[in-house]
Structure 1
Amino acid sequence: MNSTKDSWFILSAYVDTKLLKYLWFIILTSLYALIIICNVLLTVVICVNRSLHEPMYMFLCSLFVNELYGSTGLFPLLLVQILSDVHTVSIPFCFLQVFFLHTYGTTEFGNLAIMSYDRYLAICFPLQYSSRMTANKVKVLVAAAWFHSFLIVISTTSLSFSLQLCGNVINKVYCDNYSVVKLACSDTTVNNVYGLFVSVSSVFLLLSLIVYTYMRILRVCYSGSRQTRQKAISTCIPHLVSLINFGFGGLFEIMQSRFDMSRVPNLLRIFLSLYFLTCQPLFNPLMYGLNMSKIRNSCKKLFSFK
């Protein structure tokens, strides 16, 4: 990598909170522990309970594993930086975090798109659901979501790593790809074209799939019986809420990265940038764990001493 003489990046968004940094450290450590416990618990419950080896729960398992993956890419460095007086990170480690966080985001979106397709088949084709959503198809869809994410992020990170940088200050509390590209003094045309291609081929196509499936689901709800509407609502609400939460987090991240946020208070900017990576991993297991009776009952059985 051609860069400045520095071999590290400075994360300049951290504020000097003096002794309050220990309070923030305790709060974020507790949040990380809660995320780990909730996602590991539900992953284990789904894996060990054969009655939950259905497509919907397998997709949820992939979602929970991705929450663990993304949190691991964020929290360890974040906790170290909070206690440190010098907020620097080595260039290789920074790009490693970029890889973790971007694969987390793209895999999350892919999982949510697959889950919307699964709900579409379950509600619009209930009698053919078992033949359309087979165990092999579930494996292929989950593998495709992860493989596609890793493939495009490896390419994106490789292009960014080859840039010549004329600065080393990232105005965030973690590393992200766009912040690194903004430091480049070499030609970034390839990066921009590839980024546009990825946005069109990935985000647009997955978003189109989600919109299409929910339009079909709404049509069935309007034309179907009351029982059909209740079933559709009960199975789609957790996914819809998770999707909206993810969308808001993504919007906050775009605003933080693409627009001038200098007039926004620093603490609010930090919150907006972290919302995308902290609320979703905690929100999803709580939402699905509390709303789905099969998961609740399985958790009770797991901890039952009878």
Structure 2
Amino acid sequence: MENKTYFYFMLFKNLGHIRYALFTLGFVLYCVIITLNVLIILAICLERTLHQPMYILISCLSINSVYGTAAFFPRVMSDLLSDTHIISTEACIIQCFVLFSYTTNEFATLMLMAFDRFVAISKPLQYHNIITLRVLTVLIFIHWIFPMICIGIAGVLTARLTMCDDKLWKVYCHNYEIVKLSCTNGLIINVWGAFVLIISGVIPLCLILYSYVKILIICQKSTSQFRSKALQTCIPHIVILVNFAIGIISEVTLSRFVNLEMPTWLSVFFSLEFLVVPPILNPLVYALNFTDIRRKIWSSIRFDCRLMNEAFHASHISIWSRNSFSNDCT
């Protein structure tokens, strides 16, 4: 049987005029995501006092949000305005790689955040000797690159499959959905996918839970003032973790283990939650809870507004001067 070179996104068919409303919603969401996360990245990069492990990890979350959504929003918005809704096999596998590596990077960063908070609370005097910028850079590199290599191998294995069908019932490319369209034995890719899921999702999640349980035990044995300060620094990370974990668990459960008859819009919502909500929620949570980040963002905005006002007044003065000179000459 001839192998398929294109896939068709079936959920975009027969949307009618509602696709323009969905396009507008997607465009607004994407602009909000880019704006919020770029503000966080710039605030942390430009402020030297924020060049600390915790803030660097927060900027990593924002960088990862920009990276992951870049593979989803432009493509889905173009599909909403298109009449064909097709994607080449190569582009589909690349989108799978970016979206899955976005997921593993998020879990890796949340794991490093939990480790950072655990060291800061359990060994406050040795914290700066244990969590140095060099150590943090190495940890980020290892925990981002290794899962991406594993996902790349999964992409190569998927590309070697022979496809018997070309209809994807998703709004983005999903590796498991592609494997289900194959007419060859997908045992190897399924086993490898389970391995990647364990090392990039299950193990980091277990380590995160272990870290926060240990933190809670330490807080229970400490003074109320210490407990309040420790929980104040951990709660934003826990909120981000719970939201992202729920989104991933919902998506994996619906894709692999559950075959429920539910409305299409509801299944699409559950499959997109991990791609849409965290990139918006993350910068909002950190900007609202960390005074240093919020102060830097507002000072940058005020500075930019002041520059714009000065430029505006300067241009008007220049125009007025030229007009005056012109009138004097006449």
Give TM class, smaller chain.
over 0.9
Query: Could you tell me which residue of structure 1 aligns to residue 320 of structure 2?
Result: none
Query: Could you tell me which residue of structure 2 aligns to residue 45 of structure 1?
Result: 43
Give the whole-Å Cα distance in 2 for the aligned partners of 1:6 and 1:160: 13
Q: Do 1:4 and 1:167's aligned partners in 2 also have CA atoms closer than 8 Å?
A: no
5 Å-filtered alignment, 1:103-114, equals: 103-114=101-112
Deviation at 1:209, TM superposition (A): 1.3
Report % sequence identity: 37
Of 251, 254, 267 in structure 1, the residue corresponding to residue 252 of structure 2 is: 254
Against the structure 1 CA distance between its residues 10 and 304, is the aligned structure 2 distance closer, same or farther, given a 3 Å change threshold? Answer: same
State the Cα deviation string for residues 251-274 of structure 1 (Å, max 9, x = none).
221133124545101111111111
Give the whole-Å Cα distance in 1 for the aligned partners of 2:97 and 2:25: 26
Q: Do 1:14 and 1:172's aligned partners in 2 also have CA atoms closer than 8 Å?
A: no
5 Å-filtered alignment, 1:221-300, equals: 221-261=219-259, 263-300=261-298
Count of aligned pairs:
304
Q: Which runs of 5+ in 2 are unaligned?
A: 307-330
Given residue 34 of structure 2, which amino acid in structure 1 is its aligned partner? I
Deviation at 1:11, TM superposition (A): 1.0
Query: Could you tell me which residue of structure 2 aligns to residue 202 of structure 1?
Result: 200
Of 120, 123, 147 in structure 1, the residue corresponding to residue 121 of structure 2 is: 123
Query: Could you tell me which residue of structure 2 aligns to residue 160 of structure 1?
Result: 158
Against the structure 1 CA distance between its residues 211 and 13, is the aligned structure 2 distance closer, same or farther, given a 3 Å change threshold? Answer: same
Deviation at 1:103, TM superposition (A): 0.6
Q: Do 2:114 and 2:211's aligned partners in 1 also have CA atoms closer than 8 Å?
A: yes
State the Cα deviation string for residues 52-105 of structure 1 (Å, max 9, x = none).
000000111111100000000100110011112222111111111111101101
Give the whole-Å Cα distance in 2 for the aligned partners of 1:259 and 1:200: 16
Given residue 74 of structure 1, which amino acid in structure 2 is its aligned partner? F
Give the whole-Å Cα distance in 2 for the aligned partners of 1:232 and 1:70: 31
Secondary structure of the residue that 1:173 maps to in structure 2?
coil
Q: Do 1:46 and 1:58's aligned partners in 2 also have CA atoms closer than 8 Å?
A: yes
State the Cα deviation string for residues 178-221 of structure 1 (Å, max 9, x = none).
00111111121211221222233332321221122111100111
Secondary structure of the residue that 1:16 maps to in structure 2?
coil
Give the whole-Å Cα distance in 2 for the aligned partners of 1:169 and 1:41: 39
Query: Could you tell me which residue of structure 1 aligns to residue 140 of structure 2?
Result: 142
Structure-2-length-normalised TM-score: 0.89
Against the structure 1 CA distance between its residues 32 and 86, is the aligned structure 2 distance closer, same or farther, given a 3 Å change threshold? Answer: same
Rg bigger for which structure?
Answer: 2
Secondary structure of the residue that 1:47 maps to in structure 2?
helix
Of 17, 24, 45 in structure 2, the residue corresponding to residue 19 of structure 1 is: 17
4+ aligned runs moved over 6 Å, structure 1: none
Structure-1-length-normalised TM-score: 0.95
Q: Which moved more, 1:271-280 or 1:6-15?
A: 6-15
Q: Which moved more, 1:258-267 or 1:138-147?
A: 258-267
